[in-house]
Structure 1
Amino acid sequence: MAIALVPLLATLVESSEEVNHHMLQCLHATAMRHFTPMSDIMVASDNTWFSEKHGTVVKKSAQITMPYLETDFWKELLQDLHETEIWSLSLHLQNKSGKKEVLPRKHGNYIIISPYHDHEAVVTDISHQIKKLSNSWDWNPRAKFAVLLQRIHMQENSTQQLAADIFADLWLSRVVNAVVMVPTPNKHSNAMGTAPALQMYTWFPYQPPGHCADVRDAVLLDQWVVDSKGNGKFHYNIPLFPNKIPTNFHGCPVTVSVFEFEPSVMKESSASTTFDEGTGIRLLHEIVRKGNMSAVYLEPSHAEHWGLPYGNGSWSGGLGQVIGGQADLLAAYSYYRCHIINEIECSIPYFIDQIRWYIPCAMPYPRWMSLTRVFSPSLWLSFLAVYIVFALLMWQAVTVSNRFSLQSTNNHAYTSLIKCLFNFWAVILEQSISNNPPRIAAIRVVLLVWVLFCMSMNTVYQTYLTSFLVDPGLQHQLSSADEVFNSGMEFGFPFRWKPFLTDLSGDRYRHTHNCKSFRECLNRTSFTHNFAFMGSAIATDYMIAAEFTSSDGKPLVCSFDQIFTIQLALMTVTKGFIFLDYLNRIVSQLMDAGVIEHWSDNIKFTAILASATEMDLLAGEYTQLTLLHIQSAFYFLFLGYTVATIAFLLELTRYVKQLVCTPKRK
């Protein structure tokens, strides 16, 4: 029996060598014609099919054990690609595990080889290889895929169905630009003296029109034919990787994860039942309109609409829908996270957003302080010191003058320090004083200087007093993150930022509150004045303009110039999203035309006009003074009355006591 198998074994080995030679020729021609120069080629295969023993590769089979020349095929394939010096090569073997290396760029081309015979085994093998490859950060579903089936020998109809099943499995990983190369079952020469050796199958996801990425049939695209001398070539010589994304999708659906996030996604009015306004919605409508697509909206059920990681690799919210494949993209703009989440891709950015601090606006000073805030505390102290010094000078000058004067004085208004203080206080209040000061030049010069000084101070004070009565000014406004931390007030930010803003995980931000929505944090900041938070400038500034302004049009929440970080605002799509290049082209055109910026300004301006209907219109350039403006004057007036009343009662009490304690004369 063993002797009878020798001719069969020799025939199979010779046939295998011939097929491998044609495959190498075909792969070389395919790479030279269609693979982008200077890109990467990933060569993948399931080498669990082989085991090395004494330097010979052995096929494990239940019936027979036979030598094959797969090692020669692999060696010749890699050597052929390497010697071209056109591409960089990577080798992926399923049963080899080790440290994953992240290339600085995505793979541009893939060669996937399956050594199995059976239809089901081939599909399973390709599926496992694709899953292994897709777990890598270097995975690129938009690359060019050449799938080579080494040992398939079946009828043409079965070969076509096998290719269709492979395409259906590739589509699960969003791979479209693929060619399946199968040894041809019919090797008879044609009239031109060539015999087909390999058949190249592909599929078109949107042909015929209305056929929406539903894999039904594989299309025979070309054949690798061999002449009598063993030289091979493409029979039809047509591109193996044609453009498969049309400009008209004939109503094919795109699934969108949508939730309210102003000003990107929102409702045009409170009566609306769907999200029909916002920059993200307008952009989505433009993409759908230009491509003749239909949008299917899917709203996340999780309370955290954006999504948070569960810890097992899955996410909640809208991001979880995109990662899980339930949705193709997020309608609301999101920040670039493609460097930390392998299961998503990002469009080109159409906004540059800032994450900055939002703090309570500075409170106005109490109006009762208006009388004292005209001058600074240091100036008030200086004025008091000058007042006391001038009173002392006047008192000492009068005392010395009376001591050396030969005539007695009839005016005792400046003969004591208390009297000088009272008279000088009267000058401050612009009241009259003694009409007959001592007729001594030095004394009168001191008095004249004091009067001129008080007149100047009163003029300045009264000039600015009205301004302070109308506008008392604002207290200190927080102007940096350090001041926020040192102020003792609570602060927060959306916890969904932690995965991609690693600085927020530091000790400085340990005791923070989660801002599930910017509106929630704006409410707390504007009405309690004891909370600060970090927010998106685009979203937060819009909400402030639309809802958080006072009746006179001033914002209830403020920010300072310090920027925490700058983020790229873009669309997040599922890995391998087939419309990504089309989407980027539309976004680029709209940005170049300034349409997206116009949408943003228009939406914000409309919100400002809507909120302006509730504002109080200013009466004009001038402000009418009311009791509220001059309440500080009444406070000091009542304070003076109170002090005077207390002084009067004390004097009256003392007088009564003196009357009681004084003995009556007989």
Structure 2
Amino acid sequence: MDCTKFISEQHFTPAHPVVIVLPPTEEDSTTEEVGYLITALHTSSRWPLLLFNTTYEMKGKMNTEIYQHGNYIILISGSCRNFDEYMEKFSKQLAGLAYGNVQHSWNPRAKFILPVMSACTDYNTTYLSGAILSKLWLYKVTNSVVLFLESNGHITKFLQRNETGSAPNVRLSLHTWFPYENSQSCNPIDGTVPIRVFFLRNVSDIHRGEIFRGYIGKNLHRCPIRILARVKPPFVFIPNRIWLNASGRYTLVYNKGWDIGIISAISDSLNLSVVVLPARYPRSKSVRNFVSVNILSAELVKGRADIVIGQVLREEIFSHSLETTRSYYSMRIAWCTPCATKYPRWTRIFRIFSVYLWIYFILSLVLAIITVICISNYGHKFHLPEFGLYRDIISVTANVTAVALGISVATKPRTSSLRVFFFSWVCHSLAMSTVFQAYLTSFLIDTGYEEPIRTVEEMLNAGMRFGFPPSYKMFFNDSTDSIGEAILRKVTLCPDEGICLKWASEGRNISTLRSDMTTEFMHSIGSSTDDNNRPLLCDLEDGVVVYFQAVMAVLKGNPLLEHINDVIDRIVEGGLFKEWKKLFFNHARVAKKAPSSYTLADTYLNISLIHMQSAFYLFLLGHAAALFSFVIEMVWNSRASKQREATG
């Protein structure tokens, strides 16, 4: 135990909590050796000490550290005659740390000292240390050392086997290893990593040994890394099936996708060989379409893979056993509503002028009629030669209206005063007619758009229903959110996001949720756009519901995580990922033969008969009214002639 204390003082970071994991059995935990170690470490006052056990109740209350542990001392005990007993008890100790009540504080990157308390002569210590270090590797622990009390017989056999000379008065042996040191030491589970053994005469020899190296370089000598890929375009596309003559079977090759590009860059930077494994999909088709990250993370925990890729979102990882890389793509899910539509062409005829302007026009027409009658009557009193046509209210109304419509009158006025007013009315009517026709032509071509929905409050007040897939329902389960409750009361669940977008863009009967990646993709391929290349679905100003970050998942403590994050940072900061996004959307646009995005050129339209259809209907209505008036006049004139002949 003096050796354990000395190594702790030399290598453990001061002020960081030291966890002492007691042996699983109570009799082993209450020995004088254990008490001596705890007392010695406590007396040094260098670290907070936490005692931990996995199988029996300890008297008194224990404080649980809420932050990550800094160092570990795991006391290993067992029967000298039963090799498996050591590993069984050690497995329980590790599982209690990684998956027990303190799993949130579990720190695989800490320094581990594992003293084997029994000095046995019945087994080779390198076999036991190899099994212990292999078990630690499953938990991604690489910075560890195993201590043994050695007998003279063990030392002699080891020296003869390795031909390293003599080591008189050796009391201890220190066992460790260094994964990824060369191409032959890639996977400790396969037994390819050699155990480094240092024999110690006394505790002063420890600082000369190569222990707690910890850091793994950036050259991994083409060691394999296993990638578990979930097919999620554009992050991971469907793999190609290639026939291998050597093996006589097909193999899957993943070569397209943003995540695949990042993995390739990581492989080149760290000199790794990549082995991509397909995700094991459930048989149920409904579940197959949405493979949870929790299903894939089980493969990491079991040691079958090193990294999970395929649109892995940081927000969907809840396990304390996993860690994530740096985010390389941020996305959001936000509300979108049907964009404002164009006004119908017939309604725009009546919206050319405001209501007040139409009232002014009617009042000016009435005032002009009254003025003409007054001027004619005033001139008649002074015996001015004016036609009686301009003193009759019906005739005056017809003439004034004809001038306003741009039609010539049957008889021009005679007197100067009436001619002056008549000329001013002609100028006024010409100006009004010119403005009206100009606006009429422009509105017949482009009628303008209705007032759009801009905020969530306006969306709620619009009376429109809401539609989204069932998986989005969890965003509104907060009972204290009044907006969420209002949305859930009027929700219509869609089978998937594509159906929701189709209902919203074509049916225009719901507001829905969509990710900004979906928005970019739809714009790039020209989907959900109108004739003028304008989008049919518009985002709200305050419609963001949740943000997501795309990451990769690894087991907690993965020694390569720092290097992987460094590569991801360089990809993002260098603009490489942004360029990948741009290429993906450009390829999608070219494949769909979609037009480019909306530009100012789209504001110019070719006038066709469709745009002038309303004008033709107006002209047809005018000719029909003129024909009807002509027929009525002919009938009325015929009846009047017959009456005159009868009376004559």
Which bracket does the TM-score occupy, shorter chain normalised?
0.7 to 0.9
- Seen in structure 2, the aligned counterparts of structure 1 residues 456 and 507 have a Cα distance that, compared at 3 Å, is same
Aligned to 2:339, which of 361, 374, 399? 361
- 1:283 is displaced (CA, Å) by 1.7
TM-score w.r.t. the length of structure 2 is 0.79
* d(CA) in 2 for partners of 1:184, 1:500: 61
| Residue in structure 1 matched with residue 115 of structure 2 by the alignment | 148
Aligned to 1:166, which of 128, 132, 150? 132
- 1:137 is displaced (CA, Å) by 1.8
- 1:308 is displaced (CA, Å) by 7.3
Q: Determine if the alignment matches structure 1 residue 241 to structure 2 residue 213.
A: yes
| Residue in structure 2 matched with residue 591 of structure 1 by the alignment | 572
- 1:376 is displaced (CA, Å) by 3.8
Per-residue CA deviation, residues 484-529 of structure 1 (Å, 9 max, x unaligned), is: 3333333344554666887698424425455665444333333222
Q: Is the 8 A contact 2:334 2:515 kept in 1?
A: yes
Per-residue CA deviation, residues 153-191 of structure 1 (Å, 9 max, x unaligned), is: 24561x222222223333333333332223223498997
Letter in 2 for 1:637: F
- 1:470 is displaced (CA, Å) by 2.6
* d(CA) in 2 for partners of 1:377, 1:595: 57
| Residue in structure 1 matched with residue 247 of structure 2 by the alignment | none
SS in 2 for 1:134: helix
Q: Determine if the alignment matches structure 1 residue 109 to structure 2 residue 71.
A: yes
| Residue in structure 2 matched with residue 72 of structure 1 by the alignment | 35
| Residue in structure 2 matched with residue 625 of structure 1 by the alignment | 607
SS in 2 for 1:114: coil
Per-residue CA deviation, residues 304-346 of structure 1 (Å, 9 max, x unaligned), is: 568577xxxx945x56666776554443334322774324321
| Residue in structure 1 matched with residue 527 of structure 2 by the alignment | 548
- Seen in structure 2, the aligned counterparts of structure 1 residues 514 and 204 have a Cα distance that, compared at 3 Å, is farther
SS in 2 for 1:295: strand
- Seen in structure 2, the aligned counterparts of structure 1 residues 629 and 195 have a Cα distance that, compared at 3 Å, is same
- 1:79 is displaced (CA, Å) by 0.6
Letter in 2 for 1:73: Y
- Seen in structure 2, the aligned counterparts of structure 1 residues 577 and 364 have a Cα distance that, compared at 3 Å, is farther
- Seen in structure 2, the aligned counterparts of structure 1 residues 241 and 337 have a Cα distance that, compared at 3 Å, is farther
SS in 2 for 1:214: helix
- Seen in structure 2, the aligned counterparts of structure 1 residues 99 and 474 have a Cα distance that, compared at 3 Å, is farther
* d(CA) in 1 for partners of 2:597, 2:38: 83
- Seen in structure 2, the aligned counterparts of structure 1 residues 320 and 76 have a Cα distance that, compared at 3 Å, is closer
* d(CA) in 1 for partners of 2:359, 2:303: 73
* d(CA) in 2 for partners of 1:168, 1:180: 12
Q: Residues 134-145 of structure 1: matches in 2 within 5 Å?
A: 134-135=98-99, 136-145=103-112
Q: Determine if the alignment matches structure 1 residue 184 to structure 2 residue 131.
A: no
- 1:193 is displaced (CA, Å) by 6.5
SS in 2 for 1:345: strand
Q: Determine if the alignment matches structure 1 residue 252 to structure 2 residue 224.
A: yes
Aligned to 1:293, which of 260, 273, 276? 273
| Residue in structure 2 matched with residue 635 of structure 1 by the alignment | 617
Query: How many residues are treated as equivalent by the alignment?
Result: 612
* d(CA) in 1 for partners of 2:21, 2:193: 23
Q: Is the 8 A contact 1:43 1:89 kept in 2?
A: yes
* d(CA) in 1 for partners of 2:72, 2:473: 35
Aligned to 1:200, which of 175, 183, 186? 175
Aligned to 2:551, which of 564, 567, 570? 570
| Residue in structure 2 matched with residue 22 of structure 1 by the alignment | 3
Q: Is the 8 A contact 1:300 1:321 kept in 2?
A: no
| Residue in structure 2 matched with residue 175 of structure 1 by the alignment | 141
| Residue in structure 2 matched with residue 10 of structure 1 by the alignment | none
Q: Is the 8 A contact 2:19 2:51 kept in 1?
A: yes
* d(CA) in 1 for partners of 2:334, 2:627: 55
* d(CA) in 1 for partners of 2:339, 2:137: 54
Q: Determine if the alignment matches structure 1 residue 43 to structure 2 residue 25.
A: no
* d(CA) in 2 for partners of 1:137, 1:617: 50
Per-residue CA deviation, residues 238-257 of structure 1 (Å, 9 max, x unaligned), is: 13334346623525141322
* d(CA) in 1 for partners of 2:638, 2:68: 103
Q: Is the 8 A contact 1:553 1:612 kept in 2?
A: no
Letter in 2 for 1:360: P
Q: Is the 8 A contact 1:257 1:330 kept in 2?
A: yes
Q: Is the 8 A contact 1:544 1:556 kept in 2?
A: no
* d(CA) in 1 for partners of 2:395, 2:62: 95
Letter in 2 for 1:252: P
Give the percent of matched residue pairs that are identical in Structure 1 and Structure 2. 22
* d(CA) in 2 for partners of 1:651, 1:330: 88
Letter in 2 for 1:587: I
Q: Is the 8 A contact 1:544 1:557 kept in 2?
A: no
Superposition RMSD in Å: 4.5
- 1:542 is displaced (CA, Å) by 1.9
Aligned to 1:559, which of 524, 536, 539? 539
* d(CA) in 2 for partners of 1:635, 1:321: 71
Letter in 2 for 1:243: Y
- Seen in structure 2, the aligned counterparts of structure 1 residues 376 and 24 have a Cα distance that, compared at 3 Å, is same
- Seen in structure 2, the aligned counterparts of structure 1 residues 257 and 388 have a Cα distance that, compared at 3 Å, is farther
User: Whose helix proportion is higher, 1 or 2?
Assistant: 2
